[in-house]
A and B are shown apart, each in its own frame.
Chain A
Amino acid sequence: MIQGTPPVFLSKAFRGTAALCLGLLFWLGVTSPTRAAEPDSTNFPERLKLWGGYQHLFGLDARYRFDGPQAGIGTTFDFGKDLGGETSDHMARAGAHFRLTPNHAIGFSRYAINLRGDRTILDVDLTIDDVIFSAQGNITSQIGLTIYRLFYD
């Protein structure tokens, strides 16, 4: 993890959301163990699900560090605050869910994030992979992340 920052699973936001999730899972599991497993009374098909839609990403918080062979550990920088990077994006997301048996299924989804930044570095030099971007200099940046997710249910 990035030095000086606590592990993400110790963060207040994560613990709050995890507690909410566990509570919801507990409620669903305790109050409706039979209904959740009931076959659909209207016999809707469930074997294969193909889905796609619009996704809005927001509230991005991103810190990075890239080390190099000469400088060693690079500078930890905040993409939004230090590089003027975008913190929201919208994209298409698509996936599939294939039910092998009534109790077993596999799923897949994919989406791609593309964010840009443009800013004058204010206070300190920024070392990224042995290259030192000088304080008071302008830096433009682009970050892309494609996430593929596979799971078994």
Chain B
Amino acid sequence: MSPGIYLGDFNAEFLGSATIRVGNIPPVSEAATVTETLFVPLPTIGIGLEYRISPRLKIQTRTDFFYVNVKQVEGSLAEFTVGLEYRLFKHFAVGATFNRLWLDLDWKPGSPDGWAVQSSWNNGLFYGALYF
């Protein structure tokens, strides 16, 4: 078992024709831009294993998970990775991994700074690695 942390630095911008309401002033329609920024640290616990198929080829897999349900925050994160790596030379390897991530967070629902995100995606990674 191994601990970890994900730091998510999120920004979003929305531009369009919008109705703006400020205080008791009657709403007006005009072009508007909304910008949102969030920074979310998510501690996780994970498990990883690697297996050497041959001295040069190894398969590795890892799963990380996070869940919280406290007063104003509810959410979970999970990530699964599996990959192959081949040692071409003593100090250089190439590899490929498949990775899927799920994220579901609800922060202070209904409050002025509340937000929610529910997202998932896949990653295919092709990499080169230097070893020392």
A→B interface (CB under 8 Å): 1-2, 5, 7-9, 11, 13-14, 17-18, 20-21, 24-25, 28-29, 32, 35-36, 38, 40-42, 44-73, 76, 83, 93, 111, 121, 125, 128-134, 137-153
B→A interface (CB under 8 Å): 2-21, 27, 29, 32, 34, 36, 44, 46-52, 55-56, 59, 61, 63-64, 67, 74-76, 78, 80, 82, 87, 90-91, 95, 100, 102-106, 108-132
Complex A-B: 23 CB contacts under 8 Å: A9-B67, A9-B78, A11-B102, A13-B120, A42-B90, A48-B132, A50-B129, A50-B132, A53-B128, A54-B126, A58-B121, A59-B122, A62-B119, A64-B12, A67-B109, A67-B112, A72-B110, A129-B36, A132-B20, A137-B17, A139-B15, A140-B15, A146-B8
* A8-B120 Cα distance, complex, nearest whole Å: 9
Known interface pairs A45-B90, A49-B129, A52-B128; A147-B6 also in contact (CB < 8 Å): yes
Q: Is the interface of B mostly helix, strand, loop or mixed?
A: strand
Residues of A within 8 A of B27 (CB): 132
- The one of A35, A64, A76, A131 in contact with B51, judged by C-beta atoms closer than 8 angstroms, is A35
- The one of B21, B36, B76, B118 in contact with A66, judged by C-beta atoms closer than 8 angstroms, is B36
* A36-B47 Cα distance, complex, nearest whole Å: 14
Top 3 nearest A-B pairs (CB, nearest first) are A53-B127, A151-B4, A139-B16
Instruction: Report yes or no: A56 in contact with B123, Cβ–Cβ below 8 A.
Output: yes
Interface centre among A8, A51, A55, A149 (most CB of B within 10 A): A8
Residues of A within 8 A of B9 (CB): 145-148
- The one of B78, B90, B130 in contact with A49, judged by C-beta atoms closer than 8 angstroms, is B130
